Amino acid sequence: MVGAGRTETVFSIFGADHLDSGEILVQGKPVSIRGPKSAIRNGIGLCPEDRKEQGLILQKSIRENISAAVLNKVSKNQIINKKKEVKLAVNTVKQFNVKTHSIEKKVVELSGGNQQKVILGRWLASDPKILILDEPTKGIDVGAKSEIYTMVCNLARNGMGVIFISSELIEVINVCDNIIIMKEGSISGLLSRGECNEEKVLSLAMVNKQ
Amino acid sequence: MMDSTYKFIIQVKAMGKKRKSALNLLKLNNVTLIIVLIVVVAIFSVLNHNYFSRSNAMNILYASSVVGLLAIGQTYLIIGGYIDLSCASIASLSGVLAAICIGKGIPWLSALLITLILGAAIGIFNSILTNIFSLQPFIATLATASMCEGFGYIICGGRSVPISNQSFIAIGATKIFGIPLPVIYLVILFIIFGFILEKTVFGRSVYIIGGNPTAGYLSGINPKKVSTILYVISGIVSAFAGTTLAARMHTGAASAVLGSEFNAITAAVLGGVSFTGGSGSIGGCFIGLIIIQSFSNGLTMINVSSFWQKVAQGMLLIGALLLDDFRRKKLTK
Amino acid sequence: MKVKVTRRLMALLLSTILAFTLFGCGSSSPSTPDTAPEDTEGEKEATDVDADTTDTIKIGYLNKTMAIQWSQDVVDALEQLGKEQNFELVYADADFSPEAQLEQLNTFINNDVDGIICMVADEGMASAVVETANEAGIPVVGESLRMEDENDLLITPCVELDAAKCGAMNMDWVSENWESTGVDLSDETQIGFIQIIDSQLANEIVRGEGAYNEFKVLFPNVPEKNCFIADIAADSAELSEAAYNQVSTIFSANTAITTWVLCGVMEDYALGACRAIEDIGYVDSAILTSIGGERAIQEWEGGTKAPWYCANYYTGMDAAKLCADGLLQIVRDGKIEEEIWPEYIDDGETYASAKFSGTIITYDNYKDIVK
C-alpha cells in the first residue's frame, strides 16, 4: 500500500538513499552499493515511481532518454558513437513496441504507456540482473499495461530477478511469484502465489486501528 | 543572397583551416538567429559603408574575444542547470594577478598557469558553495564575484598594474596572418568546447542533469561531480580570458571586465540556452555573441550617444529573453 | 509549415525591435538626444562619409565616461570647433571599461578617423591605445589624463589642466581676500587645512599639492599637524558622498580646530565638503575653494555665499581648443607629435603637455566672467 515505505526501501537498495543497516546480495554475492552508479555496475536497475519527475528527460528525444544510463556502452573513449546509439534506440523501440515514427521525437510528446516503455528500455539496455519496477503501470492505458506484464514475465522467465512494486492487488497476484507485503516501513509478510488471496494480503497490509 | 554568402565567408575565414567539419560540429543551423544577424549587418551597412568590411568583421570578432570565452563557461553551466556570476570578476582578478606576477619577473607562461590554477580554485570554491552548502548558484556565485572583485582591488592597491614585458604582451597582442591571437583562441576554444558538449559522454551528461537532475542521478550520473567540473571549466576559461586581455591592454586593471557576465549570459540565452536547463548549444551561443557585438559595434560606428546604446542593449536582452520564452513554450506543451 | 512561419515571424519581430531602437536612438549630440528626423540623420552620416573630401578631417574622441558634465562640455566644444575649423567629430563612451575603450579605438580606426583625442579609461592602458593608433598611422592627443609609460614619461602629447597652478591660484585668492569673507584667519596656529583628492589619480595629487604648497608659503605658521588630506579613493561611495564622509571624519577627529581652509580638487568633492561643513556647523569659520566652478555657480545661484567662496573656473572649451589645435597641427600641417607645443615640453620629456588654467570666480564676480 502507498506509504508503507516501499519506494524508500528500493531507493536504499539502489544506493539513491542512505542505507541504515543490512546488506545486499546479488546472485548470492554481497555487494557494496555506494550510489546509483555502483548499483548499475553491479547489475541493479531502478524504474522510479514518478516517470515524469524522476525518470524522463522531457525535452530530450527517445534516443537520448534510452541511452541515458548506458552512455559508456554507446561510446568509445568518451566520445559518443551516434551509430551505436541510434541502433540501441531503434532496437529498443521495436522490442517494446513504442508507438513513434522516429527515435528523435521528444518523449514529452508520447503517451504515458509509451513513456514507460522508453524508461524500461533504458534500464534493460543496462543489462541488469535485478530490475526494480516501482508502480510501472500507474496512469497507463490497458493495452500498454498488458504489454508490460508480458514483458516482465518474459524477463523473469529468462532469469532476471524482478521486483515489482504495486498497490493493485490483482496485478500483483497475477504477475508475481512471491509477494512481500510491507506495512509501516517493515515487512509484515511473505506469501507465495499459491498461498495468496485477497483476505490474507489485506490483513497483512492494513494498519491496525485498535 | 549576397549577405549570407558574405556571412559564410567571414565565418569561414575567421575559422582558419578547420572548415567544414567545424561548421557541422557547431551546428550552425539556427535559422532564426542567422536571420537576425543578417538584418543587423544589413541595417548598419546601409548606415555606414565602413561597417561592411573585412577589417570591421575582424574588429567584431576581436571585441567578442573576452566575452565569448566567458560565454562558453556560462553555456555549459546554464545547460547543466547552474550559473556562474563570478566569471567576469575571476577574469579581472586574473588580469591583475598576472600583471603583478610579470612585474615580479615571473616568466609569462608561469604567470598564465598561475592564473589558470587560480581560476580552477575559484571554480572549486563555487562548487563547494553550491554542492556542499547547497546554496543557490545565483546568490553563491554573486558572493564569489564580490569577493574576487575585492581581492582584485586589494592585491593591486587600487591602482592598475602596468605591464611592459613584451613576451607576455605578445600572448594578447600578436597577429598571425592578420588575425589577432585572441580571435584564434576564441575560435579554437569554441570548436573544442562545442565538440565536447555535443559529442562526448561528459557533454551529454551535462544536458541530462540539466534536463532532469533526478533522472540523471538515477541513471548513474553524479550531478555534484559534473557541476564541479563545470565550475572549474568556467573558472579556467574566465582566468584565461582575463589574462590575455591584460596582455592586450598592457595593464592589469581590477575593473577590467566587470559587468561582462551579463553580456556572456545574454549571448548564451540568445543562442538557445534556457534557464530551466537542458537545452542550448555552443554554436547558437557563438551566433548570439556575434549578434550582440555586431550591434554594439554598429552603434559606435554610426555615432549613437552612449546613453542610447545602453537602452538599445537592454532591448536586445529583452528580445533574447522573449526568444527563449517562445522556444521553451514550443518545447514543453 | 506553421512552425517555420512562426519562427520567421519571431525573427522579424526581434529585428524590428532592433531596428526601431536604432532609429529611435537620437543624434550624436548629447544635449539633444531626441533630435527628430532619424532617417535623415542616418543618411546624412552616410553622405558625409561618401563625400570623400580630402579637406574634411574626422576626429575621434575616446572618453572614459560621458556621465560627467566635463566630458559633455568637451564634446559640445569639439563639435562647435569642428564647424568652425572644418572637422567632423565622432565620439565614444568607454564607461570606465578599458576593454570597451580598446574596442572603440579599433572601431574608430576602421571608421577612417584621422586623429584621436583620448581621455584614457585606465591610466595603465595608455601605451596600448597609443601603440594601436600609431600602428594605424593615427596620432593621439591625451585629454586631461596624462598618457604615460611605466617611467611616468609622456608617450604622446597631452592636454591637461595646470594642476599645480589651479590649486595655487585658489590659495592666492584666500590669502588676499579672507578678511572680506568674515572668517578669521589671523591666528594661523588655529587654522586647519584640508585638500580633497582621489589618490588614485596622479593629476589630482598634483592639484592638491599645488594648493597645499602655496598655502604653506602664504600661511607659514600653520602647524603641520593641522594639515590633512581627505582621500576619496578610500571610500567606495560616489564622488560627493565619499568627499562628505572623508571630510566629516576629519572634522570629527579634530574638534579642537574650528577654523578651516579647504580645497576640493574636483567640484564634486567640494560639493560633498560643503555639505559636511554645513552639517557640522562650521559655515562661518570655513573657507571652501574648488577647482572647477560649475557646482559653485549652482550654489551661488541659490543665494548662498558661504562657505564656498571661490572656484577656479575652466571650461571644456579650454581643453577642447588645445586638443583640436594640437591634433590639427599634426594632421593638417604635417607636423609630427614631437614637434607640437615645444614651449610645453618639460625636461627629460619627448612630448609636450599643453596646459590650461582657469580664472578665479567668486559669488560677486561670476556673472561677469561666465557667459
Whether residue C167 sits in one domain with residue C155: no
Whether residue C334 sits in one domain with residue C241: no
* pLDDT confidence tier of residue B28, bands split at 50, 70 and 90: very low
What pLDDT is attached to residue B51? 86
Edge to edge, what strands does the sheet with A161-165 contain? A44-47, A130-134, A161-165
Whether residue C288 sits in one domain with residue C172: yes
Which residue in chain B has the smallest CA separation from C233?
A: B158
What pLDDT is attached to residue A27? 76
Say if C31 falls within a structural domain: yes
Q: Which of C241, C53, C26, C14 lies closest to B304 in space, CA to CA? A: C26
Q: How far apart are the first and last CA of chain A?
A: 19
Residue C321 pLDDT greater than 80, yes or no: yes
What pLDDT is attached to residue C44? 36
Q: Which of A128-132, A179-183, C201-205 has the highest mean pLDDT?
A: A128-132
Q: What is the CA radius of gyration of chain A?
A: 18
Helix (H, G, I), strand (E, B) or coil at C261: strand
Whether residue C228 sits in one domain with residue C151: no
Share of chain C above pLDDT 90, in %: 45
DSSP strands (E only) in chain C: 57-63, 87-93, 115-118, 140-143, 158-161, 191-197, 227-231, 259-264, 286-291, 308-313, 353-356, 359-362
Contact list, C18 vs chain B (CB under 8 Å): 36, 39-40, 43, 295, 312, 315-316, 319
What pLDDT is attached to residue A188? 79
Least confident among A65-69, B276-280, C80-84: B276-280
Number of domains in chain C: 2
Least confident among A133-147, A187-201, B61-75, C18-32: C18-32
Helix (H, G, I), strand (E, B) or coil at C37: coil
DSSP C340: S
Higher pLDDT, C90 or B302: C90
Among C313, C332, C364, the domain-final residue is: C313
Is the backbone of residue C252 left (phi > 0), alpha (psi -120 to 50) or beta? alpha
Contact list, B204 vs chain A (CB under 8 Å): 64, 67, 71, 80
Joined together, the cell numbers standing for residue B306 give 552612449
Q: In this structure, are residues B219 and B235 in contact, taking their beta carbons and an 8 Å threshold?
A: no
Which residue in chain B has the smallest CA separation from C150?
A: B162
Contacting chains of B (3 CB pairs or more, <8 Å) are A, C
Q: Please indicate whether, in this complex, the C-beta atoms of B212 and A56 are within 8 angstroms of each other.
A: yes
Interface residue ranges in chain A relative to chain B, Cβ cutoff 8 Å: 14, 16, 35-37, 39-40, 46, 48, 53-60, 64, 67-69, 71-72, 75, 78-80, 106, 108-109, 122
Q: Which of C14, A75, A78, A59 lies closest to B280 in space, CA to CA? A: A59
What pLDDT is attached to residue B199? 92
Residue C91 pLDDT greater than 60, yes or no: yes
Contact list, C128 vs chain B (CB under 8 Å): 173, 248-251
* pLDDT confidence tier of residue B10, bands split at 50, 70 and 90: low
Q: In this structure, are residues B148 and B86 in contact, taking their beta carbons and an 8 Å threshold?
A: yes
Amino acid at C56: T
Q: Residue A180 phi/psi, 5° resolution?
A: -105, 130
Number of domains in chain A: 1
Say if C366 falls within a structural domain: no
Residue A44 pLDDT greater than 50, yes or no: yes
Q: In this structure, are residues B36 and C14 in contact, taking their beta carbons and an 8 Å threshold?
A: yes
Name the CATH topology of B30-331: ABC transporter involved in vitamin B12 uptake, BtuC (1.10.3470)
Share of chain B above pLDDT 90, in %: 51
A80: enclosing H helix or E strand: strand A79-80
Question: What average pLDDT does range A121-137 have in this prediction?
Answer: 90
Helices (H), chain A: 6-14, 36-41, 62-67, 82-96, 112-125, 142-157, 169-175, 198-205
Whether residue C349 sits in one domain with residue C201: no
CATH, residue C43: 3.40.50.2300
Question: What average pLDDT does range C131-156 have in this prediction?
Answer: 91
Question: What average pLDDT does range C86-112 have in this prediction?
Answer: 90
Residues A165, A172: Cα–Cα separation, whole Å: 8
Residues C104, C61: Cα–Cα separation, whole Å: 10
Residue C11 pLDDT greater than 60, yes or no: no
What pLDDT is attached to residue C58? 93
Contact list, B214 vs chain A (CB under 8 Å): 48, 53-54
Whether residue C155 sits in one domain with residue C11: yes
* pLDDT confidence tier of residue B327, bands split at 50, 70 and 90: low
Q: Residues with Cβ < 8 Å from A48, sequence gap 6 or more?
A: A7, A54, A55, A134, B214, B218
Amino acid at C227: C
Is the backbone of residue C105 left (phi > 0), alpha (psi -120 to 50) or beta? alpha
Mean pLDDT of chain B: 85
Question: What average pLDDT does range A55-71 have in this prediction?
Answer: 91
Share of chain C above pLDDT 70, in %: 85
Question: What average pLDDT does range B20-48 have in this prediction?
Answer: 69
Amino acid at A175: V
Least confident among A70-79, A190-199, B105-114, C101-110: A190-199
Q: In this structure, are residues B149 and B254 in contact, taking their beta carbons and an 8 Å threshold?
A: yes
B172 touches chain C (CB under 8 A): no
Least confident among A169-178, B281-290, C166-175: A169-178
Residues B102, B280: Cα–Cα separation, whole Å: 38
Whether residue C66 sits in one domain with residue C24: yes
Tell me the pLDDT tens digit for each residue of B157-182: 877 888 888 889 899 888 888 889 99
Residues C198, A164: Cα–Cα separation, whole Å: 75
What pLDDT is attached to residue C15? 60
Mean pLDDT of chain A: 85
Say if C365 falls within a structural domain: no
Say if C362 falls within a structural domain: no
Residues C214, C332: Cα–Cα separation, whole Å: 41
Q: Which one of C9, C102, C106, C113 makes the best mutation probe of the B interface by having the most chain B beta carbons within 10 Å?
A: C106
Query: Computed from CA positions of residues A91, A94, A99, A101, in that sequence, does the dihedral angle turn out positive or negative?
Result: positive
Residues paired with C259 in a beta bridge? C191
Residue B233 pLDDT greater than 90, yes or no: yes
Say if C369 falls within a structural domain: no
Residues C177, C170: Cα–Cα separation, whole Å: 11
Report pTM.
Answer: 0.77
- Domain positions in chain B: 30-331
What pLDDT is attached to residue B21? 42
Q: Residue B132 phi/psi, 5° resolution?
A: -85, -40
* pLDDT confidence tier of residue B217, bands split at 50, 70 and 90: very high
Tell me the pLDDT tens digit for each residue of C222-252: 999 999 999 988 777 788 888 999 999 999 9
Q: Which of B162, B258, B179, B167 lies closest to B14 in space, CA to CA? A: B179
Look up cell 607659514; give the residue.
C220
Q: Residue C201 phi/psi, 5° resolution?
A: -110, 120
B49 touches chain C (CB under 8 A): yes
Residues C120, C62: Cα–Cα separation, whole Å: 7
* pLDDT confidence tier of residue B322, bands split at 50, 70 and 90: confident
Closest partner residue to B303 (CB to CB) among C19, C90, C95 is C90
Say if A31 falls within a structural domain: yes
Mean pLDDT of chain C: 83
Whether residue C52 sits in one domain with residue C125: yes
What pLDDT is attached to residue B332? 52
- CA–chain centroid gap for B255, Å, is 17
Higher pLDDT, B262 or B93: B93
C40 touches chain B (CB under 8 A): no
B146 touches chain C (CB under 8 A): no
Q: Please indicate whether, in this complex, the C-beta atoms of A108 and B214 are within 8 angstroms of each other.
A: no
Residues A26, A34: Cα–Cα separation, whole Å: 14
Instruction: Examine residue C307 and say whether the peptide bond preceding it is cis (omega within 30 degrees of 0).
Output: yes
* pLDDT confidence tier of residue C51, bands split at 50, 70 and 90: very low
Residues 267-296 (B) with a CB less than 8 A from some CB of C = 295
Q: Please indicate whether, in this complex, the C-beta atoms of B331 and A59 are within 8 angstroms of each other.
A: yes
A191: enclosing H helix or E strand: strand A186-192
Q: Which of B94-103, B302-311, C347-356 has the highest mean pLDDT?
A: B94-103
Helix (H, G, I), strand (E, B) or coil at C248: helix
Residues 178-217 (B) with a CB less than 8 A from some CB of C = none
B177 touches chain C (CB under 8 A): no
Joined together, the cell numbers standing for residue B271 give 543562442
CATH, residue A65: 3.40.50.300
* pLDDT confidence tier of residue C173, bands split at 50, 70 and 90: very high
The CA-CA-CA angle for residues C316, C319, C320, to 5°, reads 80
Residues C129, C226: Cα–Cα separation, whole Å: 42
Residue A64 pLDDT greater than 80, yes or no: yes
DSSP string over B142-176: HHHHHHHHHHHHHHHTTS-EE---HHHHHHHH-EE
Residues C59, C139: Cα–Cα separation, whole Å: 10
Contacting chains of A (3 CB pairs or more, <8 Å) are B
Contact list, C11 vs chain B (CB under 8 Å): 31-33, 35-36, 39
Say if A1 falls within a structural domain: no
* pLDDT confidence tier of residue B194, bands split at 50, 70 and 90: very high
DSSP C346: P
Question: What average pLDDT does range B178-198 have in this prediction?
Answer: 93
What pLDDT is attached to residue C19? 55
Helix (H, G, I), strand (E, B) or coil at C208: helix
Q: What is the largest CA-CA distance in chain B?
A: 60
The CA-CA-CA angle for residues A69, A73, A76, to 5°, reads 130
Name the residue range of residue C201's domain: 163-313
Whether residue C306 sits in one domain with residue C185: yes
Q: Which one of B51, B52, B59, B169 makes the best mutation probe of the C interface by having the most chain C beta carbons within 10 Å?
A: B59
Whether residue C247 sits in one domain with residue C183: yes
What pLDDT is attached to residue B77? 96
What pLDDT is attached to residue B331? 56
Q: Residues with Cβ < 8 Å from B216, sequence gap 6 or more?
A: A57, A68, B205, B208, B209, B223
Whether residue C231 sits in one domain with residue C291: yes
B29 touches chain C (CB under 8 A): no
Q: Residues with Cβ < 8 Å from B192, sequence gap 6 or more?
A: none
Give per-residue burial for B19-56: e unless 16+ CB within 10 Å, then b: eeebbebbebebebbbbbbbbbbbbbbebbeebeeeeb
Four-point Cα dihedral A56, A58, A59, A64, nearest 10: 20
Which residue in chain A has the smallest CA separation from B210?
A: A57
Residue A196 pLDDT greater than 80, yes or no: no
Whether residue C294 sits in one domain with residue C213: yes
Residue B9 pLDDT greater than 70, yes or no: no
Q: Which of A79, A90, A153 lies closest to A121 in space, CA to CA? A: A90
Q: Please indicate whether, in this complex, the C-beta atoms of C19 and B43 are within 8 angstroms of each other.
A: yes
* pLDDT confidence tier of residue B285, bands split at 50, 70 and 90: very high
